[in-house]
Amino acid sequence: MRLSRKAALILRAGVGVGLAFIYVPLLVLALYAFNSSSILKWPPPGLTLDWFGKALEDEFAREAFLTSLKAGAVATAIALALGTLASLAVARHRFFGRETISFLVILPIALPGIVTGVALSNTFTQVLGIDLGFFTVIVGHATFCIVVVYNNTIARLRRLSTSFEEASADLGAHTWQTFRFVTLPNLRSALGAGALLAFGLSFDEIIVTTFTIGAGEETLPIWIFRNLFRPNQLPVVNAVAVLVVLISILPVYLAHRLTREEGGPAAARGGAVEAEATAVP
Residues 140 to 169 in contact with another protein, rule: CB under 8 A: 142-143, 146, 155, 158-159
- Give the nearest distance from C-beta 184 to another protein in angstroms: 13
Burial of 237 (0-12, 13-18, 19+ CB in 10 A): buried
| Contact between 216 and another protein per CB under 8 A | yes
Please give the distance of CA 21 from its chain centroid, rounded to a whole number. 22
Residue selected from 46, 170, 215, 264 as contacting another protein according to rule CB under 8 A: 215
- Beta carbons within 10 angstroms of residue 242's beta carbon: 20
- Give the nearest distance from C-beta 67 to another protein in angstroms: 14
Residue selected from 9, 56, 175, 258 as contacting another protein according to rule CB under 8 A: 175
- For residue 264, which phi and psi values (nearest 5 degrees)? 75, 175
Could you say which residues in the range 83-142 bind another protein, by CB under 8 A? Answer: 83, 85-86, 88-89, 92-97, 101-116, 118-123, 125-127, 131-132, 139, 142
| Contact between 47 and another protein per CB under 8 A | no
Could you say which residues in the range 5-44 bind another protein, by CB under 8 A? Answer: 7-8, 11-12, 14-15, 17-19, 21-23, 25-26, 28-29, 32, 39-43
| H runs (alpha helix) in 47-183 | 50-57, 59-92, 98-110, 113-122, 134-159, 162-170, 175-178
- Beta carbons within 10 angstroms of residue 125's beta carbon: 15
Q: Which stretch binds another protein (CB under 8 A): 51-59, 69-77, 184-192, 235-243?
A: 235-243
Burial of 186 (0-12, 13-18, 19+ CB in 10 A): middle
